Structure 1
């Protein structure tokens, strides 16, 4: 699909979500009583920070209600915007696009990021001729989804290494299911594979690949994604929102200060207790949340990066959104 068409579809999806959010009549808005139950989507075989916070007792009488799993951050925040769930999380560029399209949501806390332990790398086979950004012209780059974190990192890398827009357009990002990315690279169906987490560890253990660059090398440590909540929910449920955000902030710091083995053991217990017949093998590879700021607090810089990228690609107009209008730290009473 041409890049322009793909981005148009993403914007249209955001507009649809915004329209639905504006028209939905929420029960809490009219009752005057705050909800103490938060609907959310999980990730199969993983433990999200809200799930960890609840298990650690940081939510008090606020409880989570799992409504199913997702495999897409953009889908998750659109579900939050339309009221299908009460919060959702995605990479910050997707949050910018959704809000720019008119969705009445606010980012309230960072929940994942990039550091020395947790990053996404762009890998090639050892005998690949690709050594630099210019070598990527005409090559296929496999990633989990388009219009999100990996494509943004690729574009920023190419821009910073002097490629023109016309040259960048000749680099072809392709969607490859994460579990198939390594195989696609080794079978030379793609030239570059974006790998992270347990899939990266597995690929490195197999040998024969090398890194061209990573998002950590490109930008250093940074928080990359946030949870969003509708403005309507924040207005109707300020105490519940504060409990939720503060609990997640405490969970971030618990994971940061607790020995890795204990974090993994706790996560395995959580998955087993919820009884969804999930494989816990991937949890053994957990290393860090990657969240850069104490308590997951959000700063302008974390959004300005993506605003600049989206403007350069014509997804949003210059000045259409300001970083400070996209998020709030007002509900975060967590550690500082």
Structure 2
């Protein structure tokens, strides 16, 4: 086993899952990240039907190296699928109707160093060439002053960081070649509630596919009536520069036939701190559950939602609103998310 994989347990597990699912899983090497004398590969795993005629879904994690729970959640879901491939005939039937892409470790260098940013000090979620149309909160919205400060976007006019570019290229090549696409990017660290965010983050204006996003929210409410997620546009909380998913959505929405619905799971880590205040005194405590039973409970809680999303992706033609239904769906979405009269801003 290479010393690179041994140095990062998440990569070791990912390579093992590649081996276990080798008959069904395609491993893609998207590049290498150099840090601390080590080389960490950027990996994507694909399975299911590659035909552009079926819907597709992507699961992403580890964008922020401190938020290990996001990478662990995506890996746990991948491990569940790989295990079920040996015996679950219904899963094999499902895979005939959907393409699945996993990129659980977008920022392996940040995971290894225990930092939010990548090894160059750049926050990958502030790194896209996209500017907010309104004032963003100081620092949190993205800054270009210094890589020594948090939320650094990188130098003005520079190319995107290798990790950001690898994510975008993977989405374009493996997902946006399909007409109907869902993605979920797993994070932690914001507030006391688990939130499902969708674009935009750079503007408070609604997305073009607001009707489709509301239809997805409705089937979640109907299928999991007791769920505790707050489903909302990210702009209801704060605006940022350089959001990768805003950037990819804006690019994809220029194609009239494309329905691309990117989601971000923001696990409310303040609840873990509230239950265990000692976590404040550890490097990872603000962003990850530190007690074993709570860690397992968090994974169980969100694995059910990831499974829902996989099935929702496979069934997109069944629940996407028809042309005559879009106006009503959009009206309900505007009432739900954009008619409250308050302005976006950081809420603490």
What TM-score do the two structures reach when normalised by structure 1? 0.29
Which of 1 and 2 has higher RCO (CA within 8 Å, sep 6+)?
1
What TM-score do the two structures reach when normalised by structure 2? 0.29
